[in-house]
Amino acid sequence: MNGPSEELRSQIRSRIDEIAVTLPNEPRNVTPQIEDRLAGILNDISIALGNDAVGGDDDPQNLLDATNEWAGLLSYAVSRVYAPASPWPIGLGGWGRAPVKALQRGAGQLQTPLTQAATALRANGFSVSVGFPWGVSVGLSWPIPPVSPENSAITVSTQIPATDSTHTGEHQDHTADRRRQMKEQMPEKFNIPDGSER
């Protein structure tokens, strides 16, 4: 997977420039016609993304980089039409159905490379988010090991899938112990409820 070419990025910018035109100190106007043209641009990005085949020998970091580049191009197109730029766009509020479907289609194309990158980079999961007005966001996640109260002034609360009840119980005991310790040391500063006060 290579990510979008500079030529494609330039073409998308030119096409967006045609529909996201503003005059100085004037808000952008979002119309059904602009949304239809945006949906066409997003669909073209999705087709190009689908043609950027993922190979079995792709480096996981390159896969992640290329995935972020594609997410960035999808987001660029959406944000140029909808995102705030003083003043906010006028006309239609929110997103139209056609751009939403086209953006979701493009975001869905990111699943295969993200799955491969997450597996190779030993991440425990990934996310692809579509959000107004910025577009697509991509993330990988790794588990955070429990923090012991002996070596930290702050307790990190995590949701770690338990492989057995002993591990979960130990984490909860450490957290409760640390809460009690913090309340004893600085009761006026930290009003942290322990499990018994809920």
Give per-residue pLDDT as tens, 50-95. 998 766 667 888 888 888 899 999 999 998 888 876 556 666 666 6
* 86 shares its domain with 170: no
User: Which residue, 132, 64, 67, is CA-closest to 106?
Assistant: 67
Q: Examine residue 74 and state whether it is found in any structural domain, yes or no.
A: yes
> Would 1 be classed as within a structural domain?
no
Report which of 107, 175, 112, 161 is spatially closest to residue 138, judged by C-alpha positions: 107
Q: Is residue 171 part of a domain?
A: yes
* Percent of the chain surpassing pLDDT 90: 20
* 38 and 125 fall within a common domain: yes
Q: Is 130 helix (H, G, I), strand (E, B) or coil?
A: strand
Dmax (CA) for the chain in angstroms is 64
Contact between 109 and 90 under an 8 Å Cβ cutoff? The reply is no
Residues 123 and 174 in one domain: no
Q: Please say if the pLDDT value at position 2 is more than 60.
A: yes
Encoded tokens for 186: 């600085």
What's the domain range around 112?
6-141
Burial class (CB in 10 A: 0-12, 13-18, 19+), 178: buried
Model confidence, pTM: 0.60
Question: Do residues 137 and 156 both lie within one domain?
Answer: no
- Least Cα distance to 81 among 92, 72, 65, 70 occurs for 92
Coil vs helix vs strand at 148: coil
Number of domains within the chain: 2
pLDDT of residue 27: 75
Examine the pLDDT at 173 and tell me if it is beyond 50.
no
Residue 101 lies in a domain: yes
Residue 137 lies in a domain: yes
In this structure, the answer to whether residues 93 and 30 fall within a common structural domain is yes
CA–CA separation, 172 and 146 (whole Å): 9
Within this chain, do residues 11 and 35 fall inside the same structural domain, yes or no?
yes
Specify whether 102 is located in the same domain as 175. no
Same domain, 68 and 136: yes
Residues 62 and 123 in one domain: yes
Do 121 and 177 fall into the same domain?
Answer: no
Residues 123 and 168 in one domain: no
Question: Of the residues 141, 161, 184, which one is the last residue of a structural domain?
Answer: 141
pLDDT, tens digit, 9 for 90 and up, residues 90-126: 666 666 778 888 888 898 889 988 998 899 889 999 9
Structural element, H or E, at residue 172: helix 165-185
